[in-house]
Amino acid sequence: MDMRTSLNTDAIKVEERWCAHNYKPLPVVISRAEGVWMWDAEGRRYLDMMSAYSAVNTGHGHPRVLKALVEQAGRVAVVSRAFHTDRLGPFLARLCQLAGLDGACPMNTGAEAVETAIKAARRWGYRVKNIPADRAEILVAEGNFHGRTTTIVGFSAEAAYRDGFGPFAPGFRLVPFGDATAMEAAITPHTAAILVEPIQGEAGIVVPPAGYLKRLREMCDRHNVLLILDEIQSGLGRTGRWFAHQHEEIRPDGLCLGKALGGGVMPVSAFVARRDLIDMFVPGNHGSTFGGNPLAAAVGLAALEVIADEGLVERSAELGAHMMARLSALNSPAIRAVRGRGLWVGVDIDPAFATARAVCERLMDKGVLSKETHETVIRFAPPLVISRPELDWAIDRFAETLDGMAR
């Protein structure tokens, strides 16, 4: 084995020796990235069609995001919420204006944003709706993925997420995703909120029927129930609108955001909500040491400005339609379905043909990186800065991969 090849092998061996085996990465070692491209330890180049689960919407190492990061780090990086800073207000003001909501609670990870939403919804249920103490219930959708904390995995339908981690918190009911009639039938006087993803990402880029979100909005209004949307993956331009719920022209009561909010350089998240909901938090009842730190606020604001100034939402809509059309036209016997919106598409592979993992490994050999979910679905979610020729190059490699495996 030559020295260049051993660089990848040695790095994988060290990681597998010391890191918990809670992921199963593709056998590639990324050492550098820029824009939509990544390079391994041997210098081979790959097109990123994954975007770190949509955390890199603005591309790897965007100059404006890095400039904000470095300049703010040189001034002050971490100040707890024990003190005010000059960065947090402008960041949250811009975020709330984009979301059309009244206030925000800054956090770090997506799971923290969801946990924040759960706490706000329960307290609202007790303080505003007068649900009896400790009886508040939140309706969630089958196939959901909202994070990895014990509360959140407790209301997952995936056995692997739950196995060995109980007992779990009560107060959640699972309802089939996309079935608005079933959701309304599940509402009781103790229902404080409905928590759903507008499009389910980890479930395989599952898009609900048209009108689903609008019907949820209407039933929540009728029954005095909060509508909270998890747009941690689907938000910030990924589906061709700033937020996926805008395709149905509704306004949620609360919105969980993260991933791309950190500009691809650090974890930044927030729970954004209407005023009476965000006001459920008072000094002492919720917090985070790093949530809302000035470095995160500076990076978050820069990420939002890049998405707006460079027209990445519009680019996602245009190139997303092109990607859907091209993938749908492949006419491969390996493909059972193509579904998605914007630059976020799942290709469902027939397991009789191959596993999605096997396809991703072959695709890696051709210089395109993606990752399977639920064993049969390949996700295509490139950074929103991708060009049409780059996107076409990746789709061409995918078509060649399927054709080669079929032969």
pLDDT-based confidence at 5, cuts 50/70/90? low
- Give the per-residue pLDDT at 407: 78
Residues in contact with 85: Cβ distance below 8 Å, sequence separation at least 6, in sequence order: 76, 79, 293, 294, 297
Question: Which residues carry out catalysis?
Answer: 145, 230, 259
Condensed to tens digits (0 to 9), the pLDDT of residues 253-262 reads 999 999 999 9
Ordered by start, the domain boundaries in the chain are 3-58+311-406, 63-309
Alpha-helical runs (H) found in 178-237? 180-186, 212-223
**33-51 mean pLDDT:** 97
- The average confidence (pLDDT) of the chain is 96
- Give the per-residue pLDDT at 4: 46
pLDDT-based confidence at 7, cuts 50/70/90? confident
Residue with tokens 């390996």: 334
Domains 3-58+311-406 and 63-309 in one fold: no
CATH code of the domain made up of 63-309: 3.40.640.10
- Give the per-residue pLDDT at 44: 96
d(CA 333, CA 293): 50
- Size of the chain in residues: 407
CATH of 3-58+311-406 among 3.90.1580.10, 3.90.1150.10, 3.30.350.10, 3.20.20.100: 3.90.1150.10
**225-253 mean pLDDT:** 98
Condensed to tens digits (0 to 9), the pLDDT of residues 304-327 reads 999 999 999 999 999 999 999 999
**85-90 mean pLDDT:** 98
Question: Backbone dihedral region of 224: left (phi > 0), alpha (psi from -120 to 50 degrees) or beta?
Answer: left
